[in-house]
Copies of this chain bind each other. A is one copy, B any other.
Amino acid sequence: MPELTVGVDLGGTNIKVGLVTDRGEIVHRHRVTTESQRGPEAVAERICGACRDLLAAAGSAADSVRGVGVGSPGTIDIANGVVLFSPNLVGWHDIPLRGLIEDGLGMRCVIDNDANVAALAEQWVGVGQGAGSLVLLTLGTGIGGGIVLDGRIWHGGRGVAGEVGHMSIHPDGPVCGCGNRGCLEAYASATAMVRRMRETIAAGTPTVLAEHADELTAARIHAAAVAGDQAARENIEQTGRYLGLGVSNLMHILNPEAVAFSGGVTAAGEMLLDPVRREVRWRTLEASRRDVRISLSALPEDAGLIGAARCFMLA
C-alpha cells in the first residue's frame, strides 16, 4: 500500500482536502465551505473536521497517512507554522495554524503559501513534470506566484519570494495597491483588464461591452472576444503582451525550465498564451528560451492540495 499524505487547500470560499500518494495521485477527496467570517480558530477546526471525514472515508488506507500539508493564502512564517497575514481571510494576523491543526488531528503538519504549493505541484506532476525549475503566475484579481528551483520552493530570506505580480514593468506606471508603480499586476490582472476595457469604452471604441461598462469582468471580456468583439480581443492580446514581458524578465533572471499560468484569467486559453509566447520570443535571449515550456496549469483544480501534500513530503 502506498504511503499517503493529506493535502489541504485553504481558500477564501472552500477548504479542499485530499489523500495524495507518493506519485501525486489523489485517492480520496473532500470539500467543505471555509466560513471564514467565523474566525481563524473555527476555520482551523473546519480543516480538522474535513480531514477527519476524509480519513474516515478512506478506511484502512488512512493507516498509512504520514501527516498534513496545508496551502494557505497570505504571508506565512514557515519555520513557525504561522499565518502572519492573509488579505483573503478576514482577521487573520499571526495565526498559529500549524499548531492548531497538529493539536486537532494529532498528526504532524507543514504549512506554506498557496501559490508556492501550487507551483510545487505543477513542477512535480503538472506542466513542469521532469523540469527542476518552474515559475507559476496566478492570474486573478491580483497576480501572485511561486518559484520552484531544484524541485523545492524558493522562499527567499524572509519567506516572501515569488511576488512576481509586483515587479514593475514601467517606472511611472499606474499606482498599485502595494504602493509601487507600474506593477505587472496593474497591467495584466483581471482588475487591470477591466480597467483598460473601461478606458477603451470611455474612448468611444465600438464594443459590445459598452452597455456593460459597470459590470465588466475578465470572463465577460473573454466571452466577447470569443464572439468576435475586436476591442475585447485587443484587450486580451495586450494583457498577454504585458504578461510576456513579465515572463521574459523572469527568464532573464532565473532561466527556469517551465513557466505556468493559473487562475481565472487563464480561461482565455490560447488567446492569452499566443501573445505571451510571441512577446517572450523577441524579448528573451535564445539561450534562455530554448526548450522552455510556457503553459497553462495542468492541475487547475488540484494544484493546491497536491502541492500542499508534496510540501509535507519534502519537509
Name A159's contact: one of B255, B282, B291 (CB within 8 Å): B255
- Asked if residues A158 and B287 are in contact (CB atoms below 8 Å), the reply is yes
Q: When the two chains form their complex, are residues B255 and A285 in contact, meaning their CB atoms are under 8 A apart?
A: no
Chain-B contact segment, one of A6-14, A173-181, A202-210, A262-270: A173-181
Chain B residues with Cβ below 8 Å from A287 are 75, 158-160
- Least CB distance, A104 to chain B, in whole angstroms: 28
On whether the beta carbons of A133 and B158 are closer than 8 Å, the reply is no
Which of A95-103, A242-250, A297-305 is the interface stretch? A242-250
Which B residues are in CB contact (< 8 Å) with A61? none
Contact A181 B255 (CB under 8 A): no
Stretch at the interface among A21-29, A164-172, A221-229: A164-172
Most buried by B among A255, A282, A287: A255
Q: Quick one: given A249-B167, A249-B249, are A161 and B255 in contact (CB under 8 Å)?
A: yes
CB of A255 to closest CB in B, whole Å: 2
The one of B132, B157, B161, B170 in contact with A253, judged by C-beta atoms closer than 8 angstroms, is B161
- Given the complex, which residues of B lie within 8 Å of A157, measured CB to CB? 131-133, 255-257, 291-292
A126 at the interface (CB under 8 A from B): no
Proximity string of chain A (128-139) to chain B, C-beta cutoff 8 Å, 1 when within and 0 when not: 000111000000
Chain A contact patch, size range: 35 or more
Binds B, one of A38-46, A147-155, A192-200, A212-220: A147-155
Residue of B nearest to A135 (CB): B253
A residues with CB within 8 A of B: 75, 131-133, 147, 149, 154-164, 166-171, 178-181, 241-242, 245, 248-250, 252-257, 282-285, 287-288, 290-292
Known: A158-B288, A254-B154, A287-B158. Contact between A179 and B245, CB under 8 A? no
Give the chain B neighbours of A156 by CB distance below 8 A. 133, 254-256, 288
Q: Which residues of B contact A253 (CB under 8 A)?
A: 147, 161-164, 167, 250, 253-254
A132 to B159, CA, bound (A): 13
